[in-house]
Structure 1
């Protein structure tokens, strides 16, 4: 996971206005990317599992990294990069480790 980017989704989703692109750039021949949706903390109803859903600040607002909702989407559904989140790489990797390996 050398690069991680927060991007805008090209849809009109108010629930998930941003996507976290977590796929390695070494796999560039695919027409899809693995992404994790970001959910606005302001719309939170239940307390999430903190290790699974860490918080990131994007453009001045806090969002939960919805690791358990990770999916593959077409490149055409990914908008412009809004933030380089490499500084949060370990936190995001910990959430991925937690969902796949339980630690």
Structure 2
């Protein structure tokens, strides 16, 4: 799995019991048993917040990335990638910076 891959996730610790997540952890850390992810919510299901919850498009559908709901999930709970959000890299990194550094 690569950074910014969008994958289905299920099991304990997953918001709503199962949903798409975006991997935010760099692939150089793939030897770790957990992966840092942020859940995706269908637009309208969760409010987008400027800089903190960017809107992305996956398979022609808009989703809100809830960076403020980060989780570390066991890698075994993460399914195969269905998309990659490298094109939203700036917005995702900006959201992480805003969450942790306030700017």
In the other structure, the counterpart of 2:6 is 6
In the other structure, the counterpart of 2:31 is 29
**Alignment gaps of 5+ in structure 1:** none
In the other structure, the counterpart of 1:81 is 81
In the other structure, the counterpart of 1:68 is 68
Query: Aligned in 2, Cα 1:97/1:83: closer, same or farther, shift over 3 Å?
Result: same
Does structure 2 retain, via aligned residues, the 8 Å contact 1:15–1:40? no
Size of the alignment, in residue pairs? 100
Cα deviation for residue 14 of structure 1 reads 5.8
Q: Distance in 1 between matches of 2:18 and 2:40?
A: 5
Query: Aligned in 2, Cα 1:36/1:9: closer, same or farther, shift over 3 Å?
Result: same
Q: Distance in 2 between matches of 1:16 and 1:58?
A: 17
TM-score w.r.t. the length of structure 1 is 0.85
TM-score w.r.t. the length of structure 2 is 0.85
Does structure 1 retain, via aligned residues, the 8 Å contact 2:10–2:18? no
Q: Distance in 1 between matches of 2:70 and 2:37?
A: 6
Q: Distance in 2 between matches of 1:36 and 1:72?
A: 9
Cα deviation for residue 13 of structure 1 reads 6.4
The root-mean-square deviation of aligned C-alpha atoms, in Å, is 2.1
